[in-house]
Amino acid sequence: MADSKISARLSPVDKKAVMDAINTIKEKLPFLIDLTTEERKSLPKLGDKSRAFVSKALEIATQNPDFLPRSFDLDEMRQDIELFEDLYPILLSLTQLQELVDDTSVAVGSEAYAAGLMVYNYAKASGKGAGLESMVDDLGRRFARKSKKVQPQAS
């Protein structure tokens, strides 16, 4: 195979260590939640531009708590902001790691598929008479097109 971007192995021990590390992360962040698509869409987002806004709002609220209603929980706001700021570098690191794992998986999957295609083509071309016909036919099912249903014509 001419253009191999990756040639590596993941030992069972290392795979288990990675899975254990992921489980440790989940254990250390027991408060993580799973939002539905609708919930995610409905929530206002705290992005880079809004971070300064929220920080200034907290400062104003901290210095001038008298104008806030008694039901407003300034400590909860502060705790939410602190947790967001604590999660942010973790999110960036996990996003980068997820992209690397995804890119590696796509590349190695592509290489494996390309190798499979080569085997299939070589077997089709050279496997006749070698008892490979049924196996080549089996591999060829991957490329079989489904017949389109014939629409009845209106009279």
Share of the chain above pLDDT 70, in %: 90
Is residue 82 included in any domain, yes or no? Answer: yes
Is residue 66 included in any domain, yes or no? Answer: yes
Is residue 3 included in any domain, yes or no? Answer: no
Distance of CA 6 to the CA centre of its chain: 20
CA–CA separation, 35 and 40 (whole Å)? 6
Closest CA to 120 of 144, 97, 91: 144
Closest CA to 61 of 81, 44, 47, 45: 81
Q: Is the pLDDT of residue 145 over 80?
A: no
Q: Is the pLDDT of residue 2 over 60?
A: no
Q: Report residue 141's pLDDT band, with 50, 70 and 90 as the boundaries.
A: confident
Q: Report residue 136's pLDDT band, with 50, 70 and 90 as the boundaries.
A: confident
Is residue 84 included in any domain, yes or no? Answer: yes
Is residue 25 included in any domain, yes or no? Answer: no
CA–CA separation, 22 and 17 (whole Å)? 9
Is residue 150 included in any domain, yes or no? Answer: no
Is residue 63 included in any domain, yes or no? Answer: yes
Output the CA torsion 27→32→37→43 (10° steps).
-170
Domain count, the chain: 1
Averaged pLDDT, 97-106: 97
Domain coverage including residue 106: 48-128
